[in-house]
Amino acid sequence: MSIEPGAKLSTRDRFLPVWILLAMAAGLGIGKAFPDLNNDIGAIQIQGTSLPIALGLFMMMYPVLAKVRYSEMSHLRADKKLLFSSLILNWIIGPALMFSLAWIFLADQPTFRTGLIVIGLARCIAMVLIWNDLACGSREAAALLVAINSIFQVFAYALLGTFYLNILPGWLGLEKFDIAFSTSAITKSVVIFLGVPLIAGYLTRKYGVKQKGEGWYENIFLPKIGLWALYGLLFTIVLMFAMQGDQITNSPGTVIKIAIPLLIYFFIMWGVSYLFGKRVGMPYDKATTLAFTAAGNNFELAIAVSIGVWGITSGQALVGVIGPLVEVPALVSLVYVSLWLRKRYK
């Protein structure tokens, strides 16, 4: 029996692009009504970190990380083929592909180019669970790979950022990034915006399950805090577009220029990963899980790093916001492709 993707998505998730568009419009309207908003928000900060933005980003990240089944990390040895394939696709092929697309399509737009590269380094830990479930992928494998990506990003993100933004361009004779970039700045952003909610999410799951049981935690607690992630995303988008209104309205073609390489990335990455999984002998459910976990990206982290390093009005942050607007319809379409391929999988 086939599964209708739209039927299993909640109204909230199915219309995510709509909510994002409405948040963008609201932000533009607020920016026009309150032209001094940049200064007002900038004044509320601690050691260079904007408290309103930090609140919104924490709201985005914490519910997602509280959902991760960290106990699945103990099963690493159960499927070395899946683990090794995921690490190669997520941390070598994915960033390299996004780096290439960024330079091909946005070579003359350094801030947007950098924003794409930052997205390519942020591996998916959130919506992938929805796409994987709709496509009849392995839930256990998805939980394992999400847990690995969550932990790996804390330790690898800043190092990979240094490599792809400064070291590799030098090797290839390309323009290095501007002086605003530094490994320490990215490390600080990752620690604040991923490390803190990661610890909070881990402790919440550990003690929530211990005190109330897994059934209560999964079926009662997580649905209650799940909306926080959406509210945090929309709150952050409203603020960003309120502060970037002039740049957006003066260059409407910007969204299209950013969307094209993102679309190409999603489809190539998904296709390569799916074929790779099939080639090495994985069953349909694990090959599908491998494909979606490799194709999706952690836009929450990309937005957080871009804001923390280059500021809320930066082109890098704008790319991060446009990302989920493109990703959602792209990966929903790939769910249908997966279900079609499922009938023909051998």
Match 């099963």 to its residue by tokens. Answer: 75
Residues 251, 111: contact at Cβ < 8 Å?
Answer: no
Q: Domain range spanning residue 166?
A: 50-226+252-342
pLDDT of residue 120: 94
Specify the DSSP element, H or E, that contains 50. strand 49-50
pLDDT of residue 40: 64
Q: In the structure, what pLDDT confidence band is assigned to residue 343 with cuts at 50, 70 and 90?
A: confident
Rounded Cα distance, 156 and 187, in Å: 9
Q: Does residue 10 belong to any structural domain of this protein?
A: no
Strand, helix or coil for residue 346: coil
pLDDT over threshold 80, residue 320: yes
Q: Does residue 124 belong to any structural domain of this protein?
A: yes
Residues 31, 23: contact at Cβ < 8 Å?
Answer: no
Q: Does residue 202 belong to any structural domain of this protein?
A: yes
Q: How many domains does the chain have?
A: 1
Q: Does residue 152 belong to any structural domain of this protein?
A: yes
Rounded Cα distance, 197 and 220, in Å: 20
Q: Does residue 157 belong to any structural domain of this protein?
A: yes
Q: Does residue 126 belong to any structural domain of this protein?
A: yes
* Cα–chain center distance at 46: 25
pLDDT of residue 64: 76
Q: What is the CATH number of the domain that holds 137?
A: 1.20.1530.20
Question: Which pTM does this prediction carry?
Answer: 0.78
Strand, helix or coil for residue 49: strand
pLDDT of residue 270: 97
Q: Which residue has the higher pLDDT, 22 or 57?
A: 22
Measured on CA atoms in the order 225, 229, 232, 235, is the torsion positive or negative?
negative
Return the closest-CA partner of residue 280 out of 74, 86, 133, 32: 86
Q: In the structure, what pLDDT confidence band is assigned to residue 273 with cuts at 50, 70 and 90?
A: very high
Region 109-136: mean pLDDT is 85
pLDDT single digits (tens) 77-100: 557 888 899 999 999 999 999 999
Q: Does residue 210 belong to any structural domain of this protein?
A: yes
> Rounded to 5 degrees, what angle do the CA atoms 27, 32, 37 make?
75
pLDDT over threshold 80, residue 39: no
pLDDT of residue 204: 93
Q: At what angle do helices 183-190 and 139-162 cross, to 10 degrees?
A: 150
> Rounded to 5 degrees, what angle do the CA atoms 144, 148, 152 make?
175
pLDDT single digits (tens) 220-253: 999 888 788 778 878 877 877 777 666 666 667 8
Structure-token pair, residue 322? 């446009």
Q: Does residue 212 belong to any structural domain of this protein?
A: yes
pLDDT single digits (tens) 165-176: 888 998 998 876
pLDDT of residue 231: 85
Q: Which residue has the higher pLDDT, 49 or 134?
A: 134
Structure-token pair, residue 198? 């990661």
Cβ-based neighbour number of residue 208 at 10 Å: 18
pLDDT of residue 52: 77
pLDDT over threshold 90, residue 11: no
